[in-house]
Structure formats: C-alpha cells, structure tokens
Amino acid sequence: MEKILAVQRMQDYINEHLTEKITLCDLSNVALFSPFYCARIFKELTGFSPADYIRRLRLSHSALHMRDNKCKVIDVAYNSGYASVDGYQRAFFNEFGCNPHEYAKSPIPLSLFIPYGVKFRNMWKENNDMENMANVFIQVIEKPERKVIIKRGEKASEYWSYCQEVGCDVWGILTSMKSLCGEPVCLWLPEKFRKKGTSEYVQGVETAIDYDGVIPEGFDTIVLPAAKYLMFQGEPFKEEDYCNAIEAVQNSIKKYDPCLIGYTWDDSNPRIQLEPRGERGYIELKAIRSL
C-alpha cells in the first residue's frame, strides 16, 4: 500500500503542475523515495515512465485546448513544454495520427490519454460503510431531442463490467468530442435502444440531433427524444470515498417517489450516469413523465 500511495502522490503532483516543468526530483520529493525507485514503481503501477505519462497527458490537454479555442499551434506547442513547433507536431502525430494544424481547423475524435489514479483501482470491490450517508439534492431538468454516439458492450450492466469488456480507452475518445452537456455520459439503455447481443450499459456522448461529423470506428448512434429527468446529485466527496458516494445516490433513487411532485418514472428513456467527480458530487439522472 505504501508503494501505491507514493505513485498516487506523484500522479496528483503531475495533475497539479502539468503546465510547469516537472522533474524526477520533484516527483521524488512528493513520493518520499529516491528518484530511481520512484521511476521504477511509477512504471510498474501505471504502465508508463513518468516522462511518457507527462508527455501523453500534456498532448491530450493540448488537443482539448485546440478543440475549444481559436489558437495558434505555435502557442500550444510552447505551452505544452516543447522547444519547437516541429517537435510538438511530430509528438502530436505520433500520439494521435493527425497533424495538429489540420486538427485545429477541423477537430475529429481522438483517443485521448485519460489516466486513472492507482489508489482507486480496486476500491469498487470493497464493502462500504453507509452509516454516514451524505445529503442528495434533486431537481427537474429537461433534455432536448438529441443524437448520442455510443460504444456498445456485450453483456455489461454497469461501469466495471463494461470496462472489462470494452476497455477504458473509450472514455478518452468520448472526452475528445464536444458534448451537449459538456462531458461524456454513461447510459442504461431500455430494450428498444439495444441491438441483439449488446449490453444494457454503454458509454457515449450527446450531440445535436443534426450532427453529421465523424463517427469513430466501432461506435453506433441512437436518437433520444426530448424528455424530463430528475437529477440526483450527492455532496462533494473525497476521491477515495467515491464508492460510498455512488451508493448513497443510487439508494436515494430507489427510495424516491416522483408522485410527490406530480411525476412518475419514464422507463422508456435511458437512465444516465455522469463521471464521479469529488468536487461536485456523484450525479445520476432518471427520466420522468407527468402523471
């Protein structure tokens, strides 16, 4: 566990100082081990050397910046820590298979590098103490008719079985695409949206109904009607407590009766899950219709 926590401290430091120069000595100082040992355990637990990990993360952040802002590639290159535009262009092409100048003009789905903290990999299997359940806030929201670009699994009914079937790299591709709600979504699909031999649980990105951009290979599209949802949002939580945060919200959904506010559940629309992020609390949405 000491080794895992040391690598997690290095990951946290990288996230907090990504736009600055980061040396192995910096990582050694936060990990509290020698630089040589830090480099070894970092690669052992993440699969990447610290330098490769930082490079891939910076390139992914630079791609998102170019997607969302009008900017010059030369500025992005220097802000990403490269001494020359040529070096940045080569690194970008090697990582994503396209030229950054072309991407900046017409962004396409990319397989972004989305690393996960080593500390949290096995926590989902642990039993959780729900005695101190957090408050859950509820509000009615409306979603427009929209197209959703999804990646189907085979038998998955929740996040972890989906990752085992499909792999976690899907999230990087979805994150690279602009979404109506600002981020990718996870969906539990009703039977009418499923294809034979595919999973109930999928991941995707909501786009405008007239979206005619690139559909990544192996992905599919569905059209969802305009609908009202109840959004359940838990309190902010520490990242290591995310299992408790998810369970608290899901228990609240099971217990809540929408008849109290003049609605009933609408099982013809997918239930929606957003990425658990500690700073905002865990969020799920369930469709409703008027009584």
Q: What is the CATH number of the domain that holds 61?
A: 1.10.10.60
Judge whether 264 lies within some domain: yes
Direct distance between the N- and C-terminal alpha carbons of the chain, in angstroms, rounded to an integer: 52
Residues 169 and 250 in one domain: yes
With respect to residue 14, please indicate whether it lies within any of the assigned structural domains: yes
CA distances from 241 to 5, 107, 232, 278 (A): 15, 36, 18, 9
Residue 228 lies in a domain: yes
- Same domain for 193 and 270? yes
| Among 60, 86, 105, residue at a domain's last position | 105
pLDDT at residue 116, as a whole number: 83
Over residues 142-177, the pLDDT tens digits come to 999 999 999 999 999 998 899 889 987 899 999 999
Closest CA to 145 of 38, 224, 52: 224
User: Could you tell me if residue 62 is inside a domain?
Assistant: yes
pLDDT score recorded for residue 121: 63
Does 100 lie in the same domain as 140?
A: no
The reported pLDDT for the residue numbered 123 is 54
Cβ 193 vs Cβ 119: under 8 Å: no
pTM of the model: 0.83
Is the same domain home to 143 and 32?
no
Domain end residue (candidates: 55, 90, 105): 105
Q: Are residues 160 and 210 in the same domain?
A: yes
Q: How many domains does the chain have?
A: 2
**Which structural domain, as residue segments, surrounds residue 217?**
136-290
Q: Does the residue 85 lie in any domain?
A: yes
Q: Which one of 105, 124, 158 terminates a domain?
A: 105
Looking at the structure, do residues 98 and 145 belong to the same domain, yes or no? no
Q: Could you tell me the mean pLDDT of each successive run of 10 residues in the chain, 291 residues long?
A: 91 93 93 94 93 95 94 92 92 94 93 85 50 77 96 93 88 93 95 96 96 93 97 88 87 94 96 92 95 91
Q: What is the CATH number of the domain that holds 264?
A: 3.20.80.10
